[in-house]
Homo-oligomer: A and B are copies of this chain.
Amino acid sequence: MEKRDALMICAVVVIAVLTGLPTPARAMAGDALKAIPFTDVTVTGSFWKARLETNRKVTIPYNFKKCDELGLIDNFARAAGFMPADTFQPNRNNRPSRECDVYKVIEGASYVLAKHPDVVLDLYLDSLIAQIAAAQEPDGYLYPSRGFLPPEKMGRGGTKRWERVGGSQELYAVGHLYEGAVAHNQATGKRTLLDVAIKNADLLCKAFGPGRCEYPPGHPEVEIGLVRLYRVTGAEKYLNLAKFFIDVRGRSETHRLYGVKNQDHVPVAQQEEAVGHAVCAGYLCSGMADIAMATAHQGYVKILDRLWHDVVSTKLYITGGVGSQSKGEAYGEAYKLGNETAYCETCAAIANAMWSQRMFLIHGDAKYVDVVERVIHNGFLSGVSLGGDKFFYVNRLASEGKQERSPWFTTPCCPTNIVRFLPSLAGYAYAQEGDMLYVNLFGSSTVRTTISGNNVRLIQETEYPWDGNARIRIEAERAQEFAIHVRIPGWARNQPVPSDLYRFVERRPREVRLEVNGESVRQPRMEKGFAVIRRKWKTDDMIELRLPMPVRRVRSHEKVVGNLGRVALQRGPIVYCAEAVDNNGQALNLILPNDASLKAERADLLGGVTIVTGQAKALHKEADGTVTERKHTLTAIPYYAWAHRAQGEMVVWLPTSAESVKR
């Protein structure tokens, strides 16, 4: 053994001791809490099914088309030598690393393919993947622009490989490659893209690590991708590399330049609060959570608990959005949750849901699902139009009327994130640990699983989120004792979020009702937010859950100064807003007195929604310049559906008196 090798082995051991050795044993154990994969869940209900259908039929093709038009797909052909390099037209939409968007749409399309066989889509993916594979360099490196652009034109891509992983997104892009490759493999059984990913990951394993390249990616994502690759291949080196990328963060003197923005200011173990770029943070924490689950790494869990609690206690918008600061697309300071200035990137909402879902899998606590539910019904869903071809990058909570969804962005991370996140959502609905089945999200759907070899299906029927009643029918190959954990949402237990950041004005007696086969379950055993029903289940047993859905006012923590004297409206998981188009052309002049009664009613607009109306007031500027209050019938619509009809003012947090109306 040469001296240099020996040193490197030492380095590996030191790092391993510092950060806790991966122990994949637990991850492989069959009884850990696991999400039931989306492939075993079929969404049957209208609310999510409509969005999934639009995603499949409109948004995914639309995204492919955009990637094609902008030349991102041709970049692979150019790198492969299939197209002359001089066909490249430099433009802001086609910068090094943007091929990540192609990988993300492939990921989304693969999820769709797994549930909806589609020969032409399958063949199109094959043709894309053939180009990607041909663009890969012989040693596995894949960053197509480097294959046809001279070094001086590589911009933030850097003149050499991995020279600028802070900004080049070389590692970020391949993280999405790995996710897309695993999804494609699972959907089609084909190894074409998976082999590309493995070859690339093997190269990273050689290039990065103690004693080799010792700097983390600027934008995390590769960690998530590596753990996914580890899960399908069983190759621990991918898990180790993911862990290396986490642990080297904040350690590399030369690269600590990323600083707070990229969570590189101190080692993760010393990070006390959520800071910096909100998408980076969400992906970083998701990756840490994946590693924690795969290795039983309690150190990571401690860090994650702290950071997650910081977010939900001080940095979470009522919509589930995060990021109050456009500079650096960052969380911003605690309790600084401006509404008209809210950044709330759609990707940050997705990252927050991804992270919260993993926190649930670590802890089995429904409070994390409460956050997932809030995000997906509000601050995420606002990011894509009902038609599926317009997008919000930034999701404001109040608007003077300048906002509208855009067909595309120079950095189109949000559209391409939406297409993969939406179809993956079915995988958030149910979970299982041994003989315990978890019903996390409500929405008409069926799920199949096995419990000790027994085939079991749950058939959930509900009009959620418009109605709080859900019926869950059981089908079991043979009668068997097992436990069904039914999530009782925080909003039905007087707790809109798992912190004191928001609270309902009207606290209500517990009115949740649960029945099994028509008989009321009085005081069900509650465990971490779930009602647990353990019994011998047989086919056609029926659980009925009744969650009353009154319209409720929400108040912010008093430190959120912009929301003082204001309330938001929530019904079930849906947060409401008032739009000018429904309120005589204005919304920022509305006042909702505390004593105004509120009513929910079904409306035939925006694809069918429940709206909220109430006797409110509106400020009017009279001819003589004085401002008077007039009676006004408030109409509020679900926040996610705003900005579909006409540009105009919008407000989530309604002032309760004229004093709170600030302009």
Contacts and interface: CB of A to CB of B under 8 A. Distances in A.
A425 interface: no
A20 interface: no
A134 interface: yes
Given A77-B130, A130-B77, A123 B82 contact: no
Contacts of A61: 118-120, 123
A122 B77 CA distance: 18
Contacts of A80: 82
Nearest to A65: B119
B134 A124 contact: no
B77 A123 contact: no
A121 B119 contact: no
A68 interface: yes
A533 to B, nearest CB: 43
Given A80-B82, A82-B82, A120 B130 contact: no
A128 B126 CA distance: 11
A64 interface: yes
9 contacts: A61-B118, A64-B119, A68-B123, A68-B126, A82-B130, A82-B134, A118-B120, A120-B120, A120-B124
A358 to B, nearest CB: 32
A127 interface: yes
A61 to B, nearest CB: 3
A335 interface: no
A576 interface: no
A446 to B, nearest CB: 25
B123 A65 contact: yes
A62 interface: yes
Interface of A: 60-62, 64-65, 68, 77, 80, 82, 118-124, 126-128, 130, 134
Given A80-B82, A82-B82, A126-B68, A120 B121 contact: yes
A60 B64 CA distance: 21
Given A60-B120, A61-B120, A120-B121, 17 more contacts: A61-B119, A62-B119, A64-B119, A64-B120, A65-B119, A65-B122, A68-B123, A77-B130, A80-B82, A82-B82, A82-B130, A82-B134, A118-B120, A120-B120, A123-B124, A124-B124, A127-B128
Nearest to A128: B127
Nearest to A80: B82
A344 to B, nearest CB: 29
Nearest to A64: B123
Nearest to A68: B123
Nearest to A127: B127
Nearest to A134: B82
Contacts of A128: 127
A86 B643 CA distance: 56
Contacts of A82: 80, 82, 130, 134
Interface centre among A60, A61, A134 (most CB of B within 10 A): A61
A187 to B, nearest CB: 15
Interface centre among A64, A123, A128 (most CB of B within 10 A): A123
A415 to B, nearest CB: 14
A60 B119 CA distance: 9
Nearest to A63: B119
A122 B121 CA distance: 11
Contacts of A77: 130
Contacts of A130: 77, 82
Contacts of A134: 82
A124 B68 CA distance: 11
Contacts of A121: 120
Contacts of A127: 124, 127-128
Closest 10 CB pairs of A and B: A61-B119, A127-B127, A124-B124, A65-B119, A61-B120, A120-B121, A120-B124, A82-B82, A120-B120, A64-B123
Nearest to A109: B120
A76 to B, nearest CB: 11
A126 B82 CA distance: 14
A123 to B, nearest CB: 6
Contacts of A65: 119, 122-123
A510 B68 CA distance: 61
A119 B109 CA distance: 13
Contacts of A68: 123, 126
A128 B123 CA distance: 10
Nearest to A61: B119
A323 to B, nearest CB: 32
Nearest to A82: B82
Contacts of A123: 61, 64-65, 68, 124
A118 B65 CA distance: 11
A460 B62 CA distance: 35
Contacts of A60: 120
Contacts of A118: 61, 120
A446 B64 CA distance: 33
Nearest to A62: B119
A638 B130 CA distance: 46
A655 B65 CA distance: 60
A120 B119 CA distance: 11
Nearest to A121: B120
A231 to B, nearest CB: 29
Contacts of A64: 119-120, 123
A546 B62 CA distance: 47
A588 B97 CA distance: 70
Contacts of A120: 60-61, 64, 118, 120-121, 124
A423 to B, nearest CB: 15
Nearest to A74: B130
A127 B124 CA distance: 8
Interface centre among A60, A68, A120, A130 (most CB of B within 10 A): A120
A134 B62 CA distance: 26
Nearest to A67: B123
A316 B68 CA distance: 50
A577 to B, nearest CB: 32
Nearest to A124: B124
A82 B119 CA distance: 23
A65 B188 CA distance: 14
A71 to B, nearest CB: 13
